[in-house]
Structure 1
Amino acid sequence: MGRLGIHSFVWTGGQTQAMLEDAMEKSASCGYKLIEFAYLRPEKFDLDRLARRAGSLDLDIAVTMGLPFSHDVSSEDPETVKAGERMLADAVRAVRDIGGSKLGGILYSAHAKYARMPSRAGWDNSVAAIARTADIARSAGVDLVLEIVNRFETNLLNTTAQGLDFIAQTGSDHVRLHLDTFHMNIEEANPAAAIRLAGDRIGYFHIGESNRGYLGDGVIDFDRIFDALLDIDYGRDITFESFSSAVVDESLSLACAIWRDTWTDNMPLAQHARRFIDLKMDEARRRRATNARA
């Protein structure tokens, strides 16, 4: 396993520079080695200062985002697609400027509930846009990872198999999948099998519970998840993600339907998640060793 990270929305809605810096401090104090931010607008935040603070705390930075309909690269409208590509290119540069390692999320479509089926033309437009963005990301030294999310947050990529087909069509070896246990629990018939199917095409992994709250309080079978991650020798970053209306970002709350408190005190949540993930990975390693001796 690579670094263990935490999403900044566990700590803050991130409306100000001070909020982001406080989230970094708290993440590091809990032993996390990576913090995930939502899209950072260079005109709003001092990226150089955030980069220096991350360095002093030994924190890597990941950035995730979703496109609005006005910048949907899976649109059939050429101008909308061009606007989306510009937004993605700007996001790649922001990740580079903050010293981050990866850009992920719903980069291939709008992050929203669609009222229509995806079209072949829209799929092709998205594939081409992501292929071009991958070239920009490679030059910037930024990993590009596409998050597979549930049917209520995109109409394009809901399963690992769809994601693998999509990245193969980009023709780029710089595009990987960003899988998330919350979304897989909704869409995959067998999340562990999906992890094994993706193998080394997974570039980033989110750990989240079925109710978005405390790990272990929902229905996700984390034993099988961690067994599968070990089976594919997953060595990249894993980030804990949890949302509650106790800490709210308006746009994300609308897109992800965060209407209630799944928790109210974030420090115990973050500390518990760190212990839970370490425990489940250790248990998976012990199971593997036991099976090898049998």
Structure 2
Amino acid sequence: MKIALVISTSDAAFNSLAFKGDLVKGLEMAKKIGYDAVEIAIRDPKKVDANEIVKVTKKLGIDVAAVGTGQAFLAEALNLIDPDENLRKNTVERLKNHIDFASHFSCKVIIGFIRGNKKQRSVQEVTKIFVEQMRFLADYAFPKKVVLVIEPLNRYEIDFLNTLHETYEVVQMIGRTNVGILADTFHMNIEEAKIEESIHSIADKLYHFHVADSNRWAPGTGHYDFESTFKALHEINYKGYISVECLPLPNGTEEAAKIAYRTVKKYLENLEGG
């Protein structure tokens, strides 16, 4: 397992994107600390020079693990299940841009907030819409070697697909090999009754992994049981990235990134040693 750090463009609306600002500076910081890769959160890929990012990542020797899309929902209300068909179409077009950007790195595109909320509609109704949209996007992404990962988010942030089990069932309905699940320790800590069992139950579709502590600070600053979680990942032979997405706490951006890196690295080394 390799370690990645979420960085973001300066117009980020999502508070837990701790490392906002100049993408190049974020890349340089991640590399200096020791991260293997970055995850780039982008609201509008057309406003980011993909070729420049390719050049810098090659120069630094750092990978891009995934592209985040949530800012398009938080800043512009774009989402895949909105009752407004035109808004759904605009969302698909934006996500196609995210897929095109990700294709420069053959990395993953995250479907988190951008899936949207039910808005008093039935689960069955919004699931049907979501599955159709995801099949279209997956088929668009497949020849570009891009994988889509759906992230369950806790009930206080969104009302559709909160648990790993719910998300797994929908992924099975979508039925595309390039669609999987992103599990996040912060959200699992709220929604999953037995985290390790939940991880085992979705093993074949777990494609990406986020870490933050119980307080959404850097791993190692709260009370989340990372040891048992990393043990479960080891048991299912997870080979993807461990991507740090946390608040810039307790002492600012770079310090949080350093604490997170040291914490995750320690647990991974313990697994390898054991």
| TM-score clears 0.5 | yes
Once the two structures are superposed, what CA deviation does each residue of 1:107-140 show, in whole Å capped at 9, x if it has no partner? 6622x7x764654222111111011111111111
Q: Which of 265, 269, 274 pairs up with 2:256?
A: 269
Task: Name stretches of at least 5 consecutive residues in structure 2 with no aligned partner.
Answer: 9-16
Q: Which of 271, 280, 283 pairs up with 2:267?
A: 280
Q: C-alpha separation between the residues in 2 aligned to 1:70 and 1:226?
A: 35
With over 3 angstroms needed to count, the CA separation of the structure-2 counterparts of 1:12 and 1:267, relative to structure 1, is closer
Q: C-alpha separation between the residues in 2 aligned to 1:281 and 1:228?
A: 12
Are 1:126 and 2:133 matched, yes or no? Answer: no
The amino acid of 1:185's aligned partner reads: N
Q: C-alpha separation between the residues in 1 aligned to 2:47 and 2:114?
A: 24
Q: C-alpha separation between the residues in 2 aligned to 1:275 and 1:118?
A: 44
Q: Which runs of 4+ in 1 moved over 4 A?
A: none
Q: Which piece of structure 1 moves more, 100-109 or 149-158?
A: 100-109
SS in 2 for 1:203: strand
Are 1:198 and 2:202 matched, yes or no? Answer: yes
Q: C-alpha separation between the residues in 2 aligned to 1:108 and 1:11?
A: 19
Q: Is the 8 A contact 2:18 2:246 kept in 1?
A: no
Q: Tell me the TM-score normalised to structure 2 length.
A: 0.88
Q: Which piece of structure 1 moves more, 219-228 or 209-218?
A: 209-218
SS in 2 for 1:235: coil
Alignment of 1:1-294 (within 5 A): 1=1, 3-9=2-8, 12-14=19-21, 19-39=22-42, 41-61=44-64, 62-66=66-70, 67-68=72-73, 70-97=77-104, 99-106=105-112, 109-110=115-116, 116=120, 118-244=122-248, 262-286=249-273, 289=274
The amino acid of 2:195's aligned partner reads: P
Once the two structures are superposed, what CA deviation does each residue of 1:38-66 show, in whole Å capped at 9, x if it has no partner? 12534422211111101111221121112
Q: Tell me the TM-score normalised to structure 1 length.
A: 0.82
Q: Is the 8 A contact 1:107 1:146 kept in 2?
A: no
Q: C-alpha separation between the residues in 2 aligned to 1:284 and 1:143?
A: 27
Greater gyration radius: 1
SS in 2 for 1:32: coil
SS in 2 for 1:8: strand
Q: C-alpha separation between the residues in 1 aligned to 2:145 and 2:218?
A: 34
Q: Is the 8 A contact 1:88 1:107 kept in 2?
A: no
Q: Is the 8 A contact 1:118 1:155 kept in 2?
A: no
The amino acid of 1:4's aligned partner reads: I
Q: C-alpha separation between the residues in 2 aligned to 1:84 and 1:175?
A: 18
SS in 1 for 2:246: coil
Q: C-alpha separation between the residues in 2 aligned to 1:282 and 1:161?
A: 29
The Cα of 1:279 is off from its aligned counterpart by 1.1
With over 3 angstroms needed to count, the CA separation of the structure-2 counterparts of 1:185 and 1:117, relative to structure 1, is farther
* Identical-pair percentage: 26
Q: Is the 8 A contact 2:108 2:146 kept in 1?
A: yes
Q: C-alpha separation between the residues in 2 aligned to 1:159 and 1:238?
A: 19
Q: What is the RMSD computed on CA atoms of the aligned residues?
A: 2.1
Q: Is the 8 A contact 1:73 1:122 kept in 2?
A: no
With over 3 angstroms needed to count, the CA separation of the structure-2 counterparts of 1:279 and 1:20, relative to structure 1, is same
Q: Is the 8 A contact 1:206 1:240 kept in 2?
A: yes
Q: Is the 8 A contact 1:179 1:206 kept in 2?
A: yes
The amino acid of 1:266's aligned partner reads: T
Q: Is the 8 A contact 1:200 1:234 kept in 2?
A: no
- Number of aligned residues: 262
Q: Is the 8 A contact 1:60 1:100 kept in 2?
A: no
Task: Name stretches of at least 5 consecutive residues in structure 1 with no aligned partner.
Answer: 245-261, 290-294
With over 3 angstroms needed to count, the CA separation of the structure-2 counterparts of 1:115 and 1:82, relative to structure 1, is closer
The amino acid of 1:75's aligned partner reads: D
The Cα of 1:149 is off from its aligned counterpart by 0.9
The amino acid of 2:159's aligned partner reads: N
The amino acid of 1:137's aligned partner reads: A
Q: C-alpha separation between the residues in 1 aligned to 2:219 and 2:253?
A: 13
